[in-house]
Structure 1
Amino acid sequence: MADRPPFVAVLVDFARALRAAGLAVGSGDVLTFCAAMAPLDPTDLVDLYWAGRTTLVIRHEDIATYDRVFRGFFLGASDPVRELLMLKSRSDAETQAVLNLPATEPPGDDQEEPAMLGLMASDVEALKHRSFSACTAEELAALRRIMARIRLTPPKRRTRRTRPARSGRSPDLRRTVRESLRMFGEPAELYWRQRKVRLRPLILILDVSGSMADYSRNLLQFAHSAKRAAAKVEVFCFGTRLTSVTTALKTRSPDIALEQAAKVVFDWEGGTRIGDSLDVFVRQWGRRGLCRGGIVVICSDGLDRGDPDVLATSMERLSRLCHRIVWLNPHKGDDRDFHPSTLGMMVAAPHVDLMLSGHDLSSLEELAKLLPTLG
């Protein structure tokens, strides 16, 4: 078996030590760990510690075990840090050759770690920009492992309620007078109040019809990551009818969550009725306050077999209920000058505040970055 690159070998050995200590560290986690360390300094213990902790530790109760194994592995008698220092003294060209494995390199017969635990920084970046429909089963599995670690932050809004603050524009007269009376009428410090801030609700409405078959599972994986990251997240799937899958996605394991969601959605990879599904959402959930002041993300290619008037009416009502409407259309791709060509998209476009593609992992990461700015 060909020798592994030295840097990768040390990282893989550390992951094996964690696995031996009882942590659930899989090949995909090690792949992410290697990708995270690629742009960092492998001789810096701080970089090593936090890159490993953020990619290899899932449960809070495993942190103590991780710390113990880290101290024993990197600060023990074997001293792999000294080995890393010697490796770093080589030329930059050689180091780059170690860190960036060519994507066309044939995998070994061993398959001990799939595709050499595959992908370094350059490979991961290329994979992020590859359309879900063009990925192999192994590449989709790697993307889902990376996607599971995406953390969404919904935008915030200021409420009408206030709270005590060190400074502000609104004086807290009640507290100021109370403190003054406590000091027998002597002038007291002027206290202030400011408005409270809350997260806006995030509602994901995913098209799981036949025309979205290449993207629906990955979008549902993205929704599962969103649900784990923020509390006020609601997820719906639709084909010919609307189904709530929020409860099914509460499971921590992505595979189990997606399996439960698939059992709930009966019209998976069937027809498409966007207008009817959105009309049901507005009547049963939207008008009851679910999306009031929230961000609604609709993931669909716009191929609608229903009545265009129903879609137009539903989108108009939805736009009045929520704060922003974001539409992910895989047909947009990387085209910045994209113009809707399907009837459903042309009807819905006037009510959409932001149009993104959602066809690859990079576009989903773009959505994650834009969400906090939509408040």
Structure 2
Amino acid sequence: MADRLAENVLHFARVLRTAGMPVGTDRIQLALQALQVAGLESRRDFKATLAACLIDRAEHRALFEQAFHIFWRDPDLLGRVMAMLLPQASSKPGTPAPPENRRLADALFPRQPSKVPEDEPEQIELDAALTWSQREVLRQRDFETMSATEWSQAKRVLQRVQPLFETRPTRRQQAAPRGRIDWRATLRAEARSAALLPKRERAGERVAPLLILADISGSMSRYSRMLLHLAHGLSNPAERRRAPRVDSFVFGTRLTPITRLMKQRDPDLAVAAVSRRVEDWSGGTRISACLHEFNKRWSRRVLRSDATVLLITDGLEQGAEDDPRCERLAFEARRLRLSCRRLLWLNPLLRFEGFEPRAAGIKALLPEVSAHMKAHNLASLEALTDCLSSSSS
């Protein structure tokens, strides 16, 4: 095989790895061997061979399609594709960025560090604007007023947020070095060999489940999109042993389950799949009807008595105070609260200093929640993670 093509395949695999796909050295070697057998008769065969060797999960196919279209866009694979090598890759004028996937754009077109002229002596300067100050400004920045760069930084911060969830005791016992004597295990061990110390056991532990109900109406669209990134990070933790079971729903004028869509590894693809799935994004709000549908159809399936529910909405239900829909909203919220252990209400309207619960929907929801919390910046979401880590009921 020509050396240039082998180098291009190697750099293409590095791009996929940087973008988030688990591409190991063995898969790169397998792809090179498969190309020797399959040949380069057509672009379709070349693409199919690389896909068969480098993709191991169905959710990675969309990322592979985008990367292949941009990286291998020159039809002369044996000659001119060397211009697309990763170390020299640079965006050309008019080249569109990969849709809905900024990690692929960063992998294909990394920012090159500025070169310091050799003739100038090295100088050590102290920057008064410390990194801590920049992070503090980002923490306090409202999601509604964030720039595109701050939005990307905030999403990366949310992906690293992994609260230490509390554990709940279970009725089942498990082996332990200390605790009460497990007579059955002790007798079984003594039957195999004599003069053994008694076996002990203690109550098992498991992480309390988490349920997310996010409002995606027009007034909540910007905040809901960021909070969906938080839900994605909670649904795909780095350490599965201390991770809870997370079920996610979005609602506007109707209720839509998105738990399976949140299982995708790429957060941008997951949120994009949610926006394509739901039909009422940035539409109206029917909080009482959506809570009624959840309590009737989904509560017994996904909600446990020790679960924590995150209700993400501004509480602006349409109607006056004497409207029956507000009474129905209070009833459905009370029913939801009695079905779980904690009902946490995340309300972006709390960002205003002079906030008062004057709306009928807010008055109906407020007495039924365990806590009323802010949800408009990273600092408020950090307070949420501290609340999830606490053991208060």
Q: Confirm or deny a common fold (TM above 0.5).
A: yes
Work out which of the two has the higher radius of gyration on C-alpha atoms and give 1 or 2. Answer: 2
1:323 alignment counterpart:
341
Q: CA deviation at 1:294?
A: 0.8
Q: CA deviation at 1:179?
A: 3.9
Secondary structure in structure 2 of the residue aligned to 1:235: strand
2:14 alignment counterpart:
22
CA distance in 2, matches of 1:25, 1:172: 49
User: What's the Cα RMSD here?
Assistant: 3.0
The residue identity in structure 2 corresponding to 1:346 is K
Secondary structure in structure 2 of the residue aligned to 1:285: helix
Mapping for residues 235-274 of structure 1, pairs under 5 Å: 235-274=248-287
1:191 alignment counterpart:
199
Q: Could you tell me the percent identity over the aligned residues?
A: 34
Structure 1: gaps of 5 or more residues:
1-18, 27-56, 65-86, 102-119
Structure 2: gaps of 5 or more residues:
1-10, 27-121, 238-242, 320-324
CA distance in 2, matches of 1:203, 1:328: 13
With over 3 angstroms needed to count, the CA separation of the structure-2 counterparts of 1:151 and 1:291, relative to structure 1, is: same
CA distance in 2, matches of 1:211, 1:295: 25
CA distance in 1, matches of 2:222, 2:193: 70
Does 2:305 align with 1:297?
Answer: no
| Residues 76-132 of structure 1, C-alpha deviations (whole Å, 9 max, x = no match) | xxxxxxxxxxx99x6xxx4444xx36xxxxxxxxxxxxxxxxxx3311221111111
Does 2:136 align with 1:125?
Answer: yes
CA contact (8 A) 1:293 1:322 kept: yes
CA contact (8 A) 2:311 2:346 kept: yes
CA distance in 1, matches of 2:387, 2:21: 28
With over 3 angstroms needed to count, the CA separation of the structure-2 counterparts of 1:296 and 1:136, relative to structure 1, is: same
Secondary structure in structure 1 of the residue aligned to 2:311: strand
| Residues 8-60 of structure 1, C-alpha deviations (whole Å, 9 max, x = no match) | xxxxxxxxxxx99936698xxxxxxxxxxxxxxxxxxxxxxxxxxxxxx9567
Does 2:171 align with 1:160?
Answer: yes
Mapping for residues 7-46 of structure 1, pairs under 5 Å: 22=14
CA distance in 2, matches of 1:305, 1:288: 29
Mapping for residues 141-156 of structure 1, pairs under 5 Å: 141-156=152-167
CA distance in 2, matches of 1:317, 1:251: 32
CA distance in 2, matches of 1:235, 1:182: 49
CA distance in 1, matches of 2:156, 2:293: 33
CA distance in 1, matches of 2:338, 2:383: 25
Mapping for residues 74-85 of structure 1, pairs under 5 Å: none
CA distance in 2, matches of 1:162, 1:239: 43
2:209 alignment counterpart:
201
With over 3 angstroms needed to count, the CA separation of the structure-2 counterparts of 1:362 and 1:183, relative to structure 1, is: same
2:290 alignment counterpart:
277
With over 3 angstroms needed to count, the CA separation of the structure-2 counterparts of 1:178 and 1:142, relative to structure 1, is: closer
2:371 alignment counterpart:
354
Secondary structure in structure 2 of the residue aligned to 1:271: coil
The residue identity in structure 1 corresponding to 2:230 is F
With over 3 angstroms needed to count, the CA separation of the structure-2 counterparts of 1:179 and 1:136, relative to structure 1, is: closer
Mapping for residues 68-147 of structure 1, pairs under 5 Å: 94-97=125-128, 100=129, 120-147=131-158
CA distance in 2, matches of 1:63, 1:354: 50
Q: When the two structures are superposed, what TM-score results if normalisation uses the length of structure 1?
A: 0.66
CA distance in 2, matches of 1:132, 1:294: 28
1:50 alignment counterpart:
none
Secondary structure in structure 2 of the residue aligned to 1:166: strand
1:114 alignment counterpart:
none
CA contact (8 A) 2:330 2:364 kept: yes
With over 3 angstroms needed to count, the CA separation of the structure-2 counterparts of 1:164 and 1:205, relative to structure 1, is: same
Q: When the two structures are superposed, what TM-score results if normalisation uses the length of structure 2?
A: 0.63
CA contact (8 A) 1:286 1:292 kept: no
